[in-house]
Structure 1
């Protein structure tokens, strides 16, 4: 597939690309998982999925609900019954260079409040390029097997898993409940033999071993799976009735003793230097292993530390996937296009003479921003030796993490004599409004707002994305068509579509690509989304800096639409309402300003009000009260904590059902104050709020 580079995308471009990737990967998943007929290569699939995650990292406010990175895997196929994972199957954060590994070690130490000389060991093992599988044993007997699916729910492939020789049907001396997790894969030799047999029989051949393994495991007929040479490496676990061991390494050894195949290249490393040494040893053996790997996975060895570190929304803090280096290629830079995003960001994209990089044809690459084109970084220091990028240049392209196309270098010896430095536009190419760059911002933005068609279309695409309203049948392409035809100009227009076109059905079903059935389904899908959770609604509004996770936090804080609306209006001015808003964990002044500006801008507020008139907004789900001593309480941490970092303390409090705030107010229930506590401790004393030191907090929660 041809991919756009992330750093060259404007916000409008990024949103369009996210929509395209969601559709692309959805179709690929259907072909790959449900129909056993992959339409794209393994490299293309992984590239698209990682690219989606990279775009979301670059533009967090554009994150879609159907993001492949958020979904962790693919939705379960319809041909299988579903199994809900007791412990979510997560994906891994990626690293691409040596510095990332040192930073990983530093992050873990910082989170755990460990000094640089404190012992900290990691396991390092090959990252198998196969299909994730979870095996549940009860009383030593295999009772179910499930694919990762979307991380929460997978496909029931128990009958198929029982045909794989590497998967034992019964275990001896195992915990009463044991979920073993690992990777189903196919060796190079077996893959070649399978394709040869398929060719002899006139059947379809597979693109690569990973697709062959996935397609074979997802056969509705287990006998077909039995005929396929599948293997299984165990490397993790989920639900347990009793611990396997105290460390990751010993737990893997325990799985091996129970009869599972574990990777013989797994090593225990005591420093980033040892991790990198083992990474290079594995990389050197990559071509001769006989099965596909695409990197090395590092995990904190001490399982008690893993538990303390916990997880982010989709990835554990205690693990990291170190991907193999990107491939490089040289090609011609034909043009530089400017794309306008949902928040007005102007993003430069390199249009390239198509070139194959890492098995993927690349014709676009990110150029990040105007500084990157000029050969400067965000601090004004030289990059690429200070070489700027000009149209007509011969440029070196690489795919970061084998995914994101980027321009790495310029060959000045081939630069045309008449090549001119690129002049970044100061006007929006879509609406002609001034494009300004605020102090401290690396991006130039269109000031056109609602009059800019690019911003309007991208905001509508964001509105219907999966993390937002997720209207089935109304994707990015349909939104763009309806906007250009004047059918939809703002979100409220979606909910008046049927009324404004008579029955709506007759008009829509006669359009190209639509029939009576698809038109009816669209209107039904729109009706279904008139009831929307508060967090989804807030995210759907597309307010700059407000992503999916922050929308959930803000919604949980205010609880109802009326309270949120009034709170944001009142927070536009300094005072208790502003302090209440910025006191929400993760909401700083920048995000608070974006929120209050959206609700104070007359045009934007009117658009929101028109939308709300068509909706029933569900109150945010409140934290369930548990037997925890801090469940439902608002807790503030201040000062220096000595036995744990503040990040760990906050995560711990939230796991126990508390709401963590960044500021003290009359609503605060408890202040945890370490050495150096200042104004917050003073204010808490004035308000009569209970205050504990770190030891008191640890005693309270029983840690």
Structure 2
């Protein structure tokens, strides 16, 4: 294909894909199937790869994310992204209306939902999206253009060309996406986000835009900050115009004639909160006419032409009937309050998580108590307080044995959680297998969360050892697999048998044992049998392994279920021997800390070179640190090293030291 033909096809595909995104993500009425969309996108990706000069910064292919950033650039807002004054009662709204009437005799309000998300600025030049930034402090934000480009409802090219346009919107995470993200974080033993707003903020500030693209973020645009090439006189007119440009504007905005109608609309939005697929924390009332806004002006902190009404959290008393103890996929025992059903935010609620023993003790929650319950963020029920204790009630304690498998539970001093660490506990099975197959552990390509879930749900595997008895025919019975993909996965599973022992140790999910500690254990012990027979003092003698960690390792291998699992894995042919690599002595006795970005190697590569030469790499600077190797954007570790008088090395100096 010649370049002119390619250019014409790229433009055609871009137009088709942009229109498809608009129909699907903005209008919610898709005109082509996901299969057709993906097929068009793949064709565009191939053309851009063949003709890189035709790749546009606003190509639909950027929706999947790109290269990771090392930091976010600062952006100065030429128009301040201010905040609104809050009202917490209808009386305060009436007082706001009275202040407006002191200067205006006739006016109209626009009432709209207040989306609970992260405020951003989107800038367009000649109809093309060129920059997006966070609100920050209202005056200076951060450039998050790459992440915003992954949000499908943001038009990368306007449906009408304007010399310049800046709009303000609220990035949010739909509830459905939030719940799936929390489930995934729990499976991967990550700290889950507390609510959709925090999840949206954390996702938008990911330095890797591919991660942001996977999070399913969305946006509602609600204001024009600056515009050239178009005259607009009112807020409703501007929202209507933004809709025509292809933006997903704030939903259900309504023009009303007086404060009584505004209050009626606030109540209606509040009653409809549960019907939305996203979080709102209030409703906003704004003067519609822009000239009248100018006349009203602004105070020291807030504009005088708008007010944000905040919905109070609804709290109701109920009687606590029992406390169930669930075992999560990470093995954590979680107490759950079961109480008489109550109606909160439009839905019936009868259960609430009590988190841990400390939470129960702090609020002195007992079975039979009258408790006060509300919905945190209008999503997750929570127990606020105890109203009164029931007769003859007694303090509640979590059980000493796992309620699912009966194994003794463990309470480590460094955490509040109580957990079951039986590697074959049915409650933790799914998480254990996902971790075992993950890239950092056994690195079984093609065995991600979805495939592991399918295998477990179909009863094909009960433990990690069962992976090695899977046959190609087993996989072909699942919807997710065709002949080639099934063959590839079986080959990947069988290939993992030859992995170094440290990968297996990390994959077993021993509490606090990461890759580094797993490698240290393999340096000390020739095979897994030696490790299983080791005493705590044998393990804690290893530099970098403390007493608590050594105790955890010994307890883990003492469990009958652990021994049974190891035996099954050994019978399947999984490698159980360490690679006893002889180390150099050039850096023996020296301790290094790595910080910042090195010019030609990653920190993992530098760490491997140091350790191969007999040196130690730790994560924190102390008086015992011999050298700090510092790259670009080195932070507090460099400062601390300078204060302690520790020698600072650049990458070249480290290489010279290694060469000696």
TM-score interval, smaller chain: 0.3 to 0.5
Query: Larger relative contact order (C-alpha < 8 A, sep ≥ 6)?
Result: 1
Structure 1 length normalisation: TM-score? Answer: 0.41
Structure 2 length normalisation: TM-score? Answer: 0.43
